Structure 1
Amino acid sequence: MTPSDLNPEFPLFEFDPDPAAILNPQVKLRLENPPQRWVLCFFREVLDSLAQSGELRKVGELRSEAGANPIYQVEQDGTSLLVMHPGVGAPLAVGFMEEAISCGGRHFIACGGCGVLKRDIAVGHPVVITSAVRDEGTSYHYLPPTREAAASPAAVAALEETLRNRKVDYRLGKSWTTDAIYRETKARRTRRVEEGCLVVEMEASAFFALAQFRGVTCGQVVYGGDLVTPEGWDFRDWIARGDVRTALFWLAVEACSKLG
C-alpha cells in the first residue's frame, strides 16, 4: 500500500496490511514450552482469589503504565493454559493480546461482563458473541473498514459445546463494541438493536479483528450485566456476582482447552 491508497480525510480508514510495524511485540516467557491456549479474563478479583488459593500459578507478567499484569498458568484435564487480565478497553486489551501472541499464543477465549440491550437477558446470563459491530477505533488498524468483525467459528463452537455439556443456558448473538461508555445514546442504541445486537461491551470487535489479522483463534463469552434501554440505565448490581464470574472463568478455561 502506498500513501496514495490512503484516505487523508478519514485517518481511521487508512488500513495498511503490512504485518510489520515500526514497533512490534517481542515478549517472551521463561517457559520451556509456552502453552498456545490463553484465557483473557476481565475479572481481576477472580484471578487474585484463584492465585491466592494456588489454583493459578504465576509464570510471568506483562507491563503497562498501569503497572504489572500477571500471567498465570492453569491445568485443565491435562491441558496447560495461560491466563491474564487483558486490561479494559480495546487499545490496551489488543496490545496485551498482541504480546500474548508473541509469547506463542494461538488460541484465545475471553470472558467478561457486558451491558445488555434487551430486558429479557437476565443478570448473570451467559452470551456467546458471534460477531461485533465495530464502533471502536482499534479494529480498523487490523482489518479494512467493514461494519462487523466475526469471532472464530472454532471458538464459538467450543464455547457452545462447553455450555451445553455443563447444562448452562446461554444466548448466542451479536455485540456492539464501543469506546465511549457515556455516548450510548438512544438513537445509537436503537440502531444497534435493529441490526441484531444483544449486548454492548468495549473489546470484542477489536479482539476478533486482531485474531483474523494474526491468523489465531479467538472467541468471547460474557454475562448479562447492567441494562441499557431508552428508559434509562439500570446498574442491576451486576458486578456483585462473584459466583457467576468464577463459574464463567472456569467455563472459558474448559472451552479454551478444546481448541487446537
Structure 2
Amino acid sequence: MDLPLLENDLDRPALLDPHRVVPRGVRLPERAVLCFFPEVVAGLEPVRTIHLSSELGPWPVHVIERDGVAVAVVQPGVGAPLSVIFLEELVALGVRSVVAVGGAGSLVPELTVGHAVVVDSAVRDEGTSFHYAPAGRVIEADPVGMAALSSTLDAADVPYVTARTWTTDAVFRETRTRVDRRVAEGCVVVDMEASALIAVARHRGVRLAHLLFAGDSLAGEEWEHRGWTKAADIRAGLFEVACAAVRDR
C-alpha cells in the first residue's frame, strides 16, 4: 500500500529543528528522566525549573539532584507524538542519556500490578517512529541502556522481566484479536510511547532505556483497571530506580 508513513526521506533535514523553539541560553544536565507519573513529578523539590513552550501552556522541566548528580525530569504528556516533542527538545538542550518510566497495560496474567518491565523491543503500532527509523514491525531497544537499567533494578532488589511491549496510538481500539496477536509475538505489555522514544533516541544518537510499570490488565476477557493509578509507593519507587539508572551511567 502507498502509505505516507512508508515514504523514506530519513536522510533529509527537517524544515523545523528543535533548536529553533527551545529557550535560548539554557542548558540542561546530560541526564534526564521522562516520568509519566504526574503525581511523582508534582511532588519533586527541584533546584531549578525551566519551561518549554507548548500549546498546552508552559511545560515545566525540573532539575533535581540525586547523590550530587543533576538530573532533568519532565512529565512528557501521554502518547508518542507529544512525548517525542519533549524528548527532542531535551536533547536540543543538552540531554544525552535518558530513562523513561511509566505505566503500561498487562497482556499476560502473571504481570500483577506494579510488576516492572525493562523494554527490550517494541512492536511499532504507532506512527511517530516511522519518521525517525526505517519502516519495520519491531524496533530493538538500546542494549547499553537496558544493561544499566537492569543492573540498577538488581542492586535495588526489585523484581522485573525483560520483554517486548506493544506500542499503540489507539487506547480505545485494543481489540481481543490484536491483543492475542501481540501476545503471540512476545509482547507482555501495551504502552503508547516506547517504540517512538526508542526510534528518536537512536536517530539523535542518545542513550535511552524504558522501564514500564504493569498497571491495568487486558489479559482477561474484560479490561480491568486494577487500581493501578493509586499504587503511589510503587510508582515513586520506580521513579527513583530510573533516577539511579541514569545517574550511574
| TM above 0.5 | yes
Q: Determine which of 32, 43, 46 is the counterpart of 1:38.
A: 32
Deviation at 1:152, TM superposition (A): 1.2
Q: What does 1:1-260 align with in structure 2 at a 5 Å threshold?
A: 9-18=2-11, 20-26=13-19, 27-28=22-23, 30-31=25-26, 34-50=28-44, 54=45, 56-229=46-219, 231-259=221-249
Normalising by structure 2, what TM-score? Answer: 0.95
Deviation at 1:34, TM superposition (A): 3.0
> 1:122-167, CA deviations, whole angstroms, 9 ceiling, x for partnerless residues?
1011111111000000000001111111221111111101110011
Q: Distance in 2 between matches of 1:140 and 1:248?
A: 29
Deviation at 1:78, TM superposition (A): 2.2
> 1:80-121, CA deviations, whole angstroms, 9 ceiling, x for partnerless residues?
111111111000100110111100111110000100000110
**Where does structure 2 lack aligned partners over 5 or more consecutive residues?**
none
Q: Distance in 2 between matches of 1:28 and 1:103?
A: 8
Q: Percent identity?
A: 45
The answer (yes or no) to whether the contact 2:48–2:64 under 8 Å persists in 1 is: no
Q: Distance in 2 between matches of 1:242 and 1:58?
A: 24
Q: Distance in 1 between matches of 2:12 and 2:115?
A: 38
SS of the residue aligned with 2:229?
coil
**Where does structure 1 lack aligned partners over 5 or more consecutive residues?**
1-6
> 1:9-43, CA deviations, whole angstroms, 9 ceiling, x for partnerless residues?
21111121235201111124655x63111100001
The answer (yes or no) to whether the contact 1:186–1:230 under 8 Å persists in 2 is: no
The answer (yes or no) to whether the contact 1:155–1:219 under 8 Å persists in 2 is: yes
Deviation at 1:211, TM superposition (A): 0.8
SS of the residue aligned with 1:101?
helix
For 2:53, the aligned partner's letter is R
SS of the residue aligned with 1:20?
coil
Range moving further from structure 2, 109-118 or 61-70: 61-70
The answer (yes or no) to whether the contact 1:125–1:169 under 8 Å persists in 2 is: yes
Normalising by structure 1, what TM-score? Answer: 0.91
For 1:49, the aligned partner's letter is G
The answer (yes or no) to whether the contact 1:89–1:179 under 8 Å persists in 2 is: yes
Deviation at 1:235, TM superposition (A): 0.5
Aligned length: 247
